[in-house]
Structure 1
Amino acid sequence: MGLFDIDTESQQPQAGGLFGGLPATATTASVVVKPLPGTSLALIPAPYQPHGEDALSDQERQDLEACKAGVDNLRNAFWIAGKSFETMSTAQLHREENPNFAEWVWINWEISESQLYRLMDEWRVGEALANLGHKPLESHVREMTELRRQTSDKVAITVYDTIARCVPRITGAVVKEVVDNLGFLSKDADAAEIGRRVRGLLNPPEQQDDDTEKGDDVPDISSLGKDSPNGESERKPSNSKADPLATKDIERLQNALVALQEAAKKVNKAAVRRAVEAQPDVAAPLIQEIGSTLQQIDRAVAVRLPKQE
């Protein structure tokens, strides 16, 4: 696990600090509880140039406290800590307490210089994945460091998002295996193409469930076409015995198309964004399941079609 990873099942509320939880708040209906400084990415000031070299201004002191809180209270959201560190470093908000930023961070949070700059390097990827509904661990993003250096943050985001949609539970080992299998990638690698390659690595055709290939009146074609796993090399005209089954398959395709067309009318980006903003914990799994189902359909229809004359 990474420094900012957290085991949600074993975590217990503690009193403040880097490894502590948030202070308890009253639940009285008449009390409006405002977010604590640093507990929301929107409350962390964006990195800016120093306003001066002397004492901090009132605004700088507020920014400093917000960034400190971002590190103290949100250990599991490493991207918030990373943004906080970059803002404090870039604006030199630490200059009153200690001009040496790395030393100041170590004294306050016992975070090494290498860990510090890694967090500052990773926060943009973490933020983008969080906006997509994921909750990535720092150790997961760390496994994509070399991939990001070779290509871009966009490619890394695509790789993680694709993995998350293809597997029931994403782990650092899965991310590492996928990145290793992708091998060296050029700087101008296309994110969409890399996403397709990742899906191919995680869902190779030969590993599909036999029940989905042979069950429900679907013929076993494993013995057809010795040169091809799907029997395409020695295709023969269908005989009369296959006609009823072919008719049933056509009906399946027609029904699937109608269902997808109806779904497309009801789902759009605006609706998805509203759902994520209103209930992210509910919307994110639904979005992932929809994506996984669409990928399953995409794999099912990925067959060689006859040439149109």
Structure 2
Amino acid sequence: MSRHNSIANLDDDDLLEGEESGAPAGPERVPAVPEPVIIAQGRPRPALRLADLPEPEEIEASGPLSAEEEDLYALCMRGVEEFKTAWWVLGKSMANMNSRRLYRKTHPTFEAWVKDTLDKSRATAYEEMTAYVVGELVSARADKAFEEDSNSTSSARVPSIGKKAAGALNSVTKDYGAAVSVAVIETIEDSTGKKVPVKALTGIVQQLPRKKEKELTEEELTALARELAASEAGKTQPAEDAAERKDLTSLNSLRTAVSSLEAAHRALAPAKVRSALDEAPEEAARLLATAQDLSAKVAKRVG
């Protein structure tokens, strides 16, 4: 029997992987996979779209993949390969691999599959699978904005969100859904008048109560987010001034380091090196080896 369980609604305690048990999933238990697009030979295959992937659905499945599961497995792997940088499509592909147990084609567990395929931990994968629904929603809004005004839509008007920012909203997404998460970040950006750094966004979201502690309406949640963002903005200017001073200090430190390197280069003149080797061969050789090691490290850093 199929179990519907949206990844976005997982609580932190729900991230335990289910046991693989029961009879193999029958074809009727898997939603229809979009028909493959036939492309004329020699033409590039169109990029995978979010709409090409079905919604992730929890299925107790074991044994070999059915024919339809094989098709969906191939589709998800295509999403993994094509969209390692389009994080929301990758997240949805991972969600299908996990919820439908498609990983069993090559691996005994989702944890093993995601480690071998993407070099991600299971915890990181679950965070990205929670965040993808926010990226999917924002991406859909961006597509709509472009379609409505394709000739004059500027990048400043097109919605966008990075993986880390969406991940910072995971607690809101789990409690209230992607739409509320988007409302929260839009409220924060409206109140500050600019994109909020991930660190600041994380700090604001961490101060929002979890639903199990105190359930809020969307209006109450966004109002609280606005209040916290205004408070955070009051701390921003002094921090920016300090960062500018730090940049100047860093530049002065770099000047000092380069001057020291120039002095060391002069001190390591060939005649002085030969003289040191004559006076104390072993000690001089050890120091020269250290100098070569440091030289390689410096070259690597400035390269």
TM-score (norm: length of structure 2) = 0.49
TM-score (norm: length of structure 1) = 0.48
The structure with the largest helix share of the pair is 2
Greater radius of gyration (CA):
2
